[in-house]
């Protein structure tokens, strides 16, 4: 089986008023199923760009990004969107929940977009909400939830369709320390139980150490990957 996610000598630059700005240079690495990789580095080192490339939201200038052996850059826009819908779950720093919907309705959004049968999707949503300690809150408007609870709803939404790859961009960056630890533990635990490959961006050394492997970006290049602790986040 190919790795869930692979980067093959990936480079990405952006055009600025001063000329080309290299952001990523010669990035190579793999993420197998069931493994968690943390991406660290200073601001501007290319962490979010790497995540956008993994999601097929952005495309490299050279090299390849492969999802289960398929080059995302060789897919049409439509097929890339379908690949993202079918195989990738996204968790963002600022939740991106729909304020006029309940917690359960927010979790169900990916199933509605994909046209999944409503019965199994609703059962899955309720099971996930119960798994993250929100079993009795599915009918609540999301505005009534705390930041940590909203991020747990966002995690359930990302997991709803059983993605092969789970991508999280600073998933605890908008939370207090205690809430962030709870969310990170849930993210790692549920992703491993579901068998998803997980890639998450974080500035926290402690949160990075909970991954199986840590990738550190410096000046657009990937330093030698190192093993993480693969242990629960300390409380």
Q: What residues pair up with 65 in beta bridges, in sequence order?
A: 7
pLDDT digits (tens, 9 = 90+) for 39-53: 999 888 889 899 999
Q: Are 40 and 173 in contact (CB under 8 A)?
A: no
Cα of first residue to Cα of last residue in the chain, in angstroms, is: 36
Average pLDDT over residues 78-92: 89
Under 8 Å between Cβ of 204 and 175: no
Residue-wise pLDDT for 99-149, tens only, equals 999 999 999 999 999 999 999 999 999 999 998 889 999 999 999 999 889
- 126 neighbors 134 (Cβ within 8 angstroms): no
Confidence of residue 224 (pLDDT cuts 50, 70, 90): low
DSSP count for the chain of H helices, then E strands: 7, 11
Q: Which domains does the chain have, with CATH numbers?
A: 32-56+76-227 (3.40.50.300)
Mean pLDDT of the chain: 89
Q: List strand residue ranges (DSSP E) for 68-212, in order.
A: 70-71, 88-91, 165-169, 197-201
Report pLDDT digits (tens) over 148-189: 899 899 999 999 999 999 999 988 888 888 888 888 888 898
């Amino acid at each position: 089986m190919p790795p869930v996610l692979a980067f093959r000598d990936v480079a990405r630059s952006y055009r600025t008023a001063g000329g080309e700005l290299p952001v990523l240079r010669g990035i190579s690495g793999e993420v197998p199923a069931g493994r968690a990789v943390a991406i660290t580095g200073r601001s501007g080192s290319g962490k979010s760009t790497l995540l956008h490339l993994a999601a097929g939201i952005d495309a490299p200038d050279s090299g390849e990004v492969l999802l289960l052996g398929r080059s995302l850059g060789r897919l049409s826009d439509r097929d890339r969107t379908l690949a993202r819908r079918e195989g990738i779950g996204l968790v963002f720093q600022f939740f991106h929940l729909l304020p006029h919907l309940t917690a359960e309705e927010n979790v169900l959004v990916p199933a509605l977009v994909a046209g999944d049968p409503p019965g199994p999707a609703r059962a899955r949503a309720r099971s996930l909400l119960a798994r993250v300690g929100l079993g009795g809150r599915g009918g609540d408007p999301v505005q009534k939830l705390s930041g940590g609870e909203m991020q747990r709803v966002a995690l359930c939404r990302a997991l709803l369709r059983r993605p092969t790859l789970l991508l999280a961009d600073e998933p605890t960056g908008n939370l207090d320390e205690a809430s962030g630890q709870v969310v990170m533990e849930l993210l790692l635990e549920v992703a491993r139980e579901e068998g998803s490959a997980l890639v998450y961006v974080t500035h926290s050394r402690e949160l990075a150490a909970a991954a199986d492997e840590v990738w550190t970006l410096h000046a657009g290049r990937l330093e030698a990957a190192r093993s993480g602790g693969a242990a629960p986040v300390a409380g």
